[in-house]
């Protein structure tokens, strides 16, 4: 199982699991490419290169080899017997926390970094909020011998000083975003602005299923390995499918990767869990931001509102266009959970299963705990998007204050 050939053949199975966007990059009414003229060409170049590479057996083999030999795929599927018994359901975790760099993010950055090389680029830029995507991008740049610059809100740089140092250790330059609220959405704006003048040698490695076409589609494609593996692993373990596939949603990349493996299975409910303070599907309105049309949290005059959540990795005020579409189409459901529920779920998984999850991932478990009566007897698959080492100090402060 642990070899490139078997993963490779699985990865071919779901080539079009969730459907491609239309020629202009729309999933229904969402998505598109709303960028200034100079970035149109850059996005088109990325799209052309991605289409060509994704159809190439040689590119896929190289990508899958990195996922296996470097990132440690396939990630295991773990059955949680203790917690499952407590909750009265069958609980399975897809262990993206065990990937190199500690989350699903490596799947996407390895794909994009390889693509950038193939395009003849020598430099990667990225935005980061909590720093996880910045660290993953800096890692891929080090591996593939590329230069790297990461845009990060000045406020986030103070809050996540350790990740700033990690990126520097990995050889990346960290550039403070000084505009607006000096957080993630400003880092995205500044990275896009910088890309315009550097596009000759630089690829913009976007960190979630958002931004202008082809990013939402491309990033989802690089994460489909999560759902593809999970589908095969469930077949082997259960002899069938789970009743639900549940994932946390910031921009939506780990959820999109998981959902892609099950979207064609009508019996599987797809559930995305958002922080109550960033519930873009529940409380958002369609808007054009960061190059795409999607659901965003807005105030009365249409200004984008800051998302607020205990987990910095979910502090994005919007949700990707494909999720916006899946929500409207009723194929996937999205629900909010509160910070208190998340902290409880975080502790529960640690105590009952010996797994400390990322606070982001704990959102998915928090929803399952909340719904345990409704879910009694069901088989629930949760994407454990990342590990919680980064969050331990924050939780200690909260619990012991
Ligand atoms: C970045 C991050 C997320 C949120 O991003 P998505 O694009 O919504 O997946 C979730 N979990 C972890 C561990 C992360 O690092």
- What is the SS3 assignment for 56-78? CHHHHHHHHHHHHHCCCCCCCEE
* Cβ of residue 360 lying under 6 Å from some atom of ligand 1: yes
Contacts of 2 (CB under 8 A, 6+ apart): 68, 74
Instruction: Please say whether the dihedral angle defined by the alpha carbons of residues 137, 145, 164 and 193, taken in this order, is positive or negative.
Output: negative
Angle value at C-alpha 398, between 131 and 354, nearest 5 degrees:
75
Take residue 254 and report the two structure tokens written for it. 């780990």
> Cα–Cα distance between 276 and 341 in angstroms, integer?
10
β-pair partners for 244? 269, 380
CA 149 to chain centroid, in Å, comes to 20
* Cβ of residue 132 lying under 6 Å from some atom of ligand 1: yes
* Ligand 1 centroid from CA 243, angstroms: 23
End-to-end CA distance of the chain: 46
Per-residue pLDDT of 263-280, as tens digits, reads 999 999 999 999 998 888
Q: Which atom of ligand 1 is nearest to the CA of 252?
A: 8
pTM of the entire predicted model = 0.95
Contacts of 157 (CB under 8 A, 6+ apart): 164, 174, 176
Q: Which of 248, 252, 312, 318 is nearest to 283 (CA)?
A: 318
Q: Which atom of ligand 1 is nearest to the CA of 250?
A: 8
* Ligand 1 centroid from CA 132, angstroms: 8
Which of 130, 210, 249, 253 has most ligand 1 atoms within 8 Å of its beta carbon, as the pocket-test mutant?
A: 253
Domain 25-70+105-215 fold = Rossmann fold (3.40.50)
Q: What is the pLDDT along the chain (401 residues), one digit of tens a residue?
A: 344 445 544 444 443 458 899 999 999 999 999 999 999 999 999 999 999 999 999 999 999 999 999 999 999 999 999 999 999 999 999 999 999 999 999 999 999 999 999 999 999 999 999 999 999 999 999 999 999 999 999 999 998 899 999 999 999 999 999 999 898 999 999 999 999 999 999 999 999 999 999 999 999 999 999 999 999 999 999 999 999 999 999 999 999 999 999 999 999 999 999 999 888 898 899 999 999 999 999 998 888 888 888 887 788 889 999 999 999 999 999 999 999 999 999 999 999 999 999 999 999 999 999 999 999 999 999 999 999 999 999 999 999 98
The three-state secondary structure class of 294 is: strand
Q: Which residue's CA is the nearest one to ligand 1's atom 10?
A: 360
> Cα–Cα distance between 218 and 347 in angstroms, integer?
35
Class of domain 77-102+224-400: alpha beta
Q: Which atom of ligand 1 is nearest to the CA of 207?
A: 7
Listed in order, the ranges of the chain carrying CATH 3.40.50.1100 are 25-70+105-215, 77-102+224-400
Torsion angles phi and psi, residue 158, rounded to 5: -70, -40
Per-residue pLDDT of 19-48, as tens digits, reads 899 999 999 999 999 999 999 999 999 999
- Residues with catalytic roles: 80, 104
The three-state secondary structure class of 352 is: helix
* Cβ of residue 246 lying under 6 Å from some atom of ligand 1: no
* Cβ of residue 384 lying under 6 Å from some atom of ligand 1: no
Q: Which of 331, 359, 242 is nearest to 19 (CA)?
A: 331
């Amino acid at each position: 199982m642990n070899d490139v050939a078997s993963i490779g053949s699985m990865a071919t199975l779901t080539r079009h699991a969730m459907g491609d966007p239309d020629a202009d990059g729309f999933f229904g009414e969402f998505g598109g490419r709303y960028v200034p003229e100079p970035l149109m060409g850059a996005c088109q170049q990325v799209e052309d290169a991605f289409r060509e590479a994704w159809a190439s057996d040689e590119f896929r083999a190289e990508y899958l080899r990195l996922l296996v030999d470097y990132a440690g795929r396939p990630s295991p599927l773990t059955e949680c017997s203790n917690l499952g018994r407590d909750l009265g359901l069958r609980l399975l975790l897809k262990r993206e926390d065990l990937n190199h760099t500690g989350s699903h993010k490596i799947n996407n950055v390895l794909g994009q970094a390889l693509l950038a090389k193939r395009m003849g680029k020598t430099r990667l830029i990225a935005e980061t909020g909590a720093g996880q995507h910045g660290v993953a991008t800096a890692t891929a740049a080090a591996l593939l011998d590329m230069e790297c610059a990461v845009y990060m809100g000045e406020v986030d740089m103070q809050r996540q000083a350790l990740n700033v140092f990690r990126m520097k250790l990995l050889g990346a330059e960290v550039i403070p975003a000084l505009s607006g609220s000096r957080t993630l959405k400003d880092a995205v704006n500044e990275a896009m602005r910088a890309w315009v003048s550097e596009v000759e040698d630089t690829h913009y490695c976007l960190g979630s299923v958002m931004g202008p076409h082809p990013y939402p589609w491309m990033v989802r494609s690089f994460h489909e390995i999560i759902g593809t593996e999970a589908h095969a692993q469930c077949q082997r373990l259960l002899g069938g499918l789970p009743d639900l596939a549940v994932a946390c949603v910031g921009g939506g990349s780990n959820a999109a990767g998981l959902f892609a493996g099950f979207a064609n299975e009508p019996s599987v409910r797809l559930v995305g869990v958002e922080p109550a303070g960033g519930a873009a599907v529940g409380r958002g309105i369609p808007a054009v931001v960061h190059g795409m049309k999607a659901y965003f949290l807005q105030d009365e005059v249409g200004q984008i509102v800051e998302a607020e959540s205990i987990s910095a990795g979910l502090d994005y005020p919007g949700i990707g266009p494909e999720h916006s579409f899946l929500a409207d189409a009723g194929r996937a459901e999205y629900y909010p959970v509160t910070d208190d529920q998340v902290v409880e779920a975080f502790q529960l998984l640690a105590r009952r299963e010996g797994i400390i999850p990322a606070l982001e991932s704990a959102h998915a478990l928090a929803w399952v705990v909340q719904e345990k009566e409704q879910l009694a007897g069901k088989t629930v698959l949760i994407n454990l998007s990342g590990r919680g080492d980064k969050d331990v100090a924050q939780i200690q402060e909260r619990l012991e204050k």
